[in-house]
Amino acid sequence: MKKPVLIGLTGSIGMGKSTTAAMFAEEGAAVWDADAAVHRLYGPGGAAVAPMQAQFPEAICPDGVSREALKALISKDPSVLKAIEAIVHPLVAADRATFIAKRPAEILVLDIPLLFETGSEGQFDLVAVVSAPADLQRQRVLARPGMTEGQFETILAKQMPDAEKRQKADVIIPTETLDGARAAVRAIMEEAKGRLANA
């Protein structure tokens, strides 16, 4: 059985990562989403609920772990974030490893917002970065319900600058237009299929 081709997909907030991940799925890749994995872990019966309850009982609600309660705890004491990450990151890594082991397709796309920030780029055959001009990024993010200029700036400050991600990427997926993004996704899929054929 051939080893699947692993594509790491990343990009800053508002760059069109979710839309691009959906395009990969349409082209036949299996997509794993880090944010969706966290939602599963935090949901009723999720693997993060018991360890979170032990450390942050006030963050537990009938639906599992409350993200809002965690945000409130972090804003009161920023050091709480480290404790939360110590619980969640290994569980997310385990969820990702399970997905890769099940190999639901020959080409696997792993959608990881903080791929470079966590130093994970060495785990992939190819790293693709979604990118768009800064003004378009700002426009997209501020159009989200409840998003403020301040929140956007805070999120940006935690993320590696787009220019740096573009330098580190194997491939850049431009997302100004859907057609441009789709053409880039198809080219990446062709390259991945070529790798499989020559494996």
Instruction: For residue 168, give the nearest of 120, 96, 108, 133 by alpha carbon.
Output: 120
Domains of the chain: 1-29+105-199 (3.40.50.300), 35-104 (no CATH)
User: Mean pLDDT throughout 1-25?
Assistant: 93
User: Mean pLDDT throughout 172-195?
Assistant: 96
pLDDT band at 133 (very low <50, low <70, confident <90, very high): very high
User: Would you state the pLDDT for residue 1?
Assistant: 61
Structure-block tokens of residue 110:
């792993």
User: Would you state the pLDDT for residue 158?
Assistant: 83
Share of the chain above pLDDT 70, in %: 99
User: Would you state the pLDDT for residue 118?
Assistant: 85
User: Would you state the pLDDT for residue 2?
Assistant: 75
Report how far Cα 158 is from the mean position of its chain's Cα atoms: 14
Q: Give the alpha-carbon dihedral of 17, 19, 20, 21, to 10 degrees.
A: 80
Q: How many CB atoms lie within 10 A of CB 60?
A: 17
pTM, to two decimals:
0.89
User: Would you state the pLDDT for residue 58?
Assistant: 93
User: Would you state the pLDDT for residue 20?
Assistant: 97
Q: HEC string of the chain? A: CCCCEEEEEECCCCCCHHHHHHHHHHCCCEEEEHHHHHHHHHCCCCCCHHHHHHHCHHHEECCEECHHHHHHHHHHCCCHHHHHHHHHHHHHHHHHHHHHHHCCCCEEEEECCCCCCCCCHHHCCEEEEEECCHHHHHHHHHCCCCCCHHHHHHHHHHCCCHHHHHHHCCEEEECCCHHHHHHHHHHHHHHHHHHHHHC
State the average pLDDT for the chain.
Answer: 93
Tens-place pLDDT, residues 38-97: 999 999 999 999 999 999 999 999 999 999 999 899 889 989 999 999 999 999 999 999
CB 38 within 8 A of CB 92: yes
Share of the chain above pLDDT 90, in %: 85
Report how far Cα 74 is from the mean position of its chain's Cα atoms: 21
Q: Among 76-80, 117-121, 147-151, 182-186, which range has the highest average pLDDT?
A: 182-186
